[in-house]
Structure 1
């Protein structure tokens, strides 16, 4: 974590569907925290401060060819050539979800591209981060050069979902280091927190219908619903005196983002033409496939639960031709034999789809989201929330907005303008003010595996181990914090003293565990997962074993866990590193 104020803060919002960068200078932040610069990305009819999270890597597997809209178009052009050469290239899209939901994974894991070839995941992530870093520096070089900015004067902020675990955060940090950013210059920002911080600074006129600043007055409680491409990420905040934020409930959510709607649309098309036809179309007509889903991306934002009109979708002629070549059937007649016979019609390249079918693409996402929010609102810690703040690109969907508003009529729903950009801009603000969120809630019970003198009154006989001079109990869960516990920024949560087991032991290695239980007895109990390890050096091996105790402290109030260790006899700090990746 950076410790000194930076002249410039640059944020990289690495999203499932879209990614981008933004920055502001310290003097700009001091004058107007919302004054943030970014790049406009152009692709087809779209102009945005974020580009598709799509990367094309050359056949050598280490050289990035292009990113974003350019990568999409370039790959389609390569595939259109009368050659299979393009299959040697690596084409990755929407791959961030690889890091979602895994309690434990290693830094050697691999990532499969669109043609099932694989590269180390760290390579792909770091190439994207490097591209965005270099693009920011190159695009902004005129402004940056005026002050001859040094690398150590820039704080880089990486965004991650609040529901991600510690291994995923460490993976992103290591990918950024591999991309050429110094570890001490990196901050991790939690996406819904960043959005909340930014929205608290906006004037009333920058908030959409249902807006206003009452949600951000001291004492007010509100829910942040960050709807992105991959996940729905939810936190609950209370505003404290001075505008600082306190988290009231541990981050929660699930893989219910906008890409689930895209997948439902894809399955609808497959039900019309059949999987073999669709796979051939996807392989042979990449440009048409790309354009079709770009068009749907725009359309899905306008689909509303109140809309009863049919929706027109342009069906590429190439898809129709492949269907007729494969099946020797007329597509219109074939559609009449499907479950959508009365819901879908085809005229030329125009597919007319009943509104109920289009709304159905959202059903799974909406059911999961509404059910989860209803469950949260019943929690005693969340009672009294006055507003739901909807942010993230998927929050721009009228369907999702209307559903949230209709299901929670007594709670004000706030959707800021450019909801898809507030996380990116908020990450810049967070970089200038990392202490904006002063209290957070633990998502798990954290502890380490230790051994202790065996006590037959409390210990399981199956855990008994023998040393030459004594018996000890193995696999004990030594708890530091518990699930649901409120922890404060920069405040040491707990300190514990530990001794090595043998005379020749020059260090203490702990395995760190997370549990969904409040007070597990052993690390083998149900709900316990090994996250990684803590390595602590013992500096003085000359003193007796009983005087080599090490005081270990953990701080949980930030966006990442910090560990410190010192020898109790001398007070000297000793090396302590946490590794959540195997």
Structure 2
């Protein structure tokens, strides 16, 4: 029994993901994450937690992530923080420089620790946290059963890191008890996941398939900045990767900083400075509240953003200045843009746009420079991953400023690196194959043969006799296929006059002897609808990509291609 665990310690957020060999063999994208890290805010539960570590005076770990952030805030209240080590976004500096065995990382109060020692502490914690969750969930059985698993660890690192930097992480992993472990770059992991899911710039485009002689760029929009790497697929399927640097850009943390500037401008620097020191936990809650709204805000919405203020803030302000919040707002440049209702501020789109503005402008500038780069122009697509690329504001901006581009934003972009790391842990080889347990094909009409076909399937079209719903497999169960190779093709002729669309029914069957799509062993996955001209013919072929089936229809007359993706048959139907 085998299990792969991938750990991604990011500049702003950290997480892990895992899957068993059995799950990978059944559905390779069946990957699990931590059930959700709890921030303490009612609406902020995330699959990754802030990259924050709190160490005690003896440099042992007290807490990590949200818990560390809250504990340190409490220590500040009682003025005991100087006896602790508080590392917030400790990896940010290492994104722009290499990691060495003598690298020192500074904490918020100016104290330091050896970088390898800090990563050792954090990796050990994440390992313990992961297995505590697995034991509680009993996903793979009892703790005794779990102990029998052979576990491989994958750790992702920045693409820019050299071999010496990677050796530092290897040293930390070994000391933390993560053995055996494998190091992959963040862009390498992201590229592997993108290779196994159907992606395309728009529904009018064909899916991008990573096959030999194709080239793409992975752009990681993280919290503290942007990383980019060009990946070229070689003839043997191997990936040749090299970092791309066209300047710096802001990430999601710039939006957080500009929100705090907005709050200080609205309430006054003196008041916010006083409030944040007297009510540290509540001030942290305000930042969590904005984080929730930041993830959902879209420039396409005309609705205002409702921001719940801590009751302590409203009480302190009204008591100190003897006036309502609305009275204060109406005396600022925000008049008409912000409405106060009880303990809520309703921010109109202009205010939120101004908060996001500098970060978005920075990203647009970065992508503009990328699009002008000669090497980028050779890329078939540019793939956006990372947490900040999930923001509706960022996706909206890329659509607006690059309407005809080949930019693709991944779904669940913040988890792309983690999921790709798990996939690499199961199979790092360049050639990917799959052996389906179902046959996949189409339901089609063929000329009727009285010796082979039942009479109830006989129908007439264009004065000819046909047999309906014949199951024609294009991919057969038990036969190994490459994830980048299309199947054999089938040519379909029109059997109706003035037909404008051909709806090709796509089926799966576990019965190798299935003859008709109407049999109980056949499952209808969906239909590919192909626009056609008069007397046209459609050439249909399949491709398995991860847990998806790509179905393509090519018209002979206009040479137009229509593609659709369908999920493969669920595991619960494979029994």
TM over 0.5, yes or no? yes
Which residue number corresponds to residue 93 of structure 2? 98
Pairs within 5 Å for 1:250-329: 250=244, 254-323=248-317
- Contact 1:430–1:436, Cα closer than 8 Å, also in 2: no
Which residue number corresponds to residue 157 of structure 2? 160
Aligned CA RMSD, in angstroms, stands at 3.5
Task: Output the CA distance in 2 between the equivalents of 1:51 and 1:161.
Answer: 18
Matched, 1:227 2:224: no
Which residue number corresponds to residue 407 of structure 1? 401
Pairs within 5 Å for 1:13-32: 13-32=8-27
Aligned counterpart for 1:236 among listed residues 227, 230, 234: 230
- Contact 1:248–1:382, Cα closer than 8 Å, also in 2: no
1:39 and 1:232, CA in 2 relative to 1: closer, same or farther beyond 3 A?
Answer: same
- Contact 1:281–1:319, Cα closer than 8 Å, also in 2: yes
Aligned counterpart for 1:372 among listed residues 326, 347, 366: 366
Which residue number corresponds to residue 146 of structure 1? 145
Which residue number corresponds to residue 8 of structure 1? 3
Q: Per-residue CA shift, 1:155-213, capped at 9, x if unaligned?
A: 3222223244566544434433443335xx333222122112112112579x9978963
Q: Secondary structure at the match of 1:410?
A: coil
Task: Output the CA distance in 1 between the equivalents of 2:196 and 2:169.
Answer: 28
Task: Output the CA distance in 2 between the equivalents of 1:236 and 1:136.
Answer: 32
Segments of 5+ residues of structure 1 without an aligned counterpart are 1-5, 439-582
Aligned counterpart for 1:49 among listed residues 44, 47, 69: 47
C-alpha displacement of 1:51:
2.1
Task: Output the CA distance in 1 between the equivalents of 2:91 and 2:321.
Answer: 37
Q: Secondary structure at the match of 1:195?
A: helix
- Contact 1:231–1:253, Cα closer than 8 Å, also in 2: no
- Contact 1:22–1:424, Cα closer than 8 Å, also in 2: yes
Pairs within 5 Å for 1:525-536: none
Q: Per-residue CA shift, 1:286-335, capped at 9, x if unaligned?
A: 33222222221221122223334432212223223444566677654444
C-alpha displacement of 1:427:
1.0
- Contact 1:218–1:241, Cα closer than 8 Å, also in 2: yes
Which residue number corresponds to residue 522 of structure 1? none
- Contact 1:61–1:90, Cα closer than 8 Å, also in 2: no
Pairs within 5 Å for 1:58-207: 58=56, 60-76=57-73, 83-85=78-80, 88-102=83-97, 107-113=102-108, 118-141=112-135, 143=140, 145-146=144-145, 148-149=147-148, 153-164=150-161, 168-181=165-178, 185-203=180-198
How high is the TM-score relative to the length of structure 2? Answer: 0.65
1:91 and 1:220, CA in 2 relative to 1: closer, same or farther beyond 3 A?
Answer: same
How high is the TM-score relative to the length of structure 1? Answer: 0.64
C-alpha displacement of 1:258:
0.9
C-alpha displacement of 1:14:
0.7
Task: Output the CA distance in 2 between the equivalents of 1:303 and 1:210.
Answer: 27
Which residue number corresponds to residue 418 of structure 1? 412
- Contact 1:386–1:411, Cα closer than 8 Å, also in 2: no
- Contact 2:55–2:85, Cα closer than 8 Å, also in 1: yes
C-alpha displacement of 1:343:
2.9
Task: Output the CA distance in 1 between the equivalents of 2:328 and 2:115.
Answer: 42
Q: Secondary structure at the match of 2:404?
A: coil
Task: Output the CA distance in 1 between the equivalents of 2:164 and 2:340.
Answer: 49
Task: Output the CA distance in 1 between the equivalents of 2:114 and 2:292.
Answer: 33
Larger radius of gyration: 2
Q: Per-residue CA shift, 1:370-395, capped at 9, x if unaligned?
A: 22222222233222434332221111
- Contact 1:41–1:48, Cα closer than 8 Å, also in 2: yes
- Contact 1:99–1:168, Cα closer than 8 Å, also in 2: no
1:168 and 1:197, CA in 2 relative to 1: closer, same or farther beyond 3 A?
Answer: same
Number of equivalences: 424
Which residue number corresponds to residue 564 of structure 2? none
- Contact 1:219–1:238, Cα closer than 8 Å, also in 2: yes
- Contact 1:162–1:251, Cα closer than 8 Å, also in 2: no
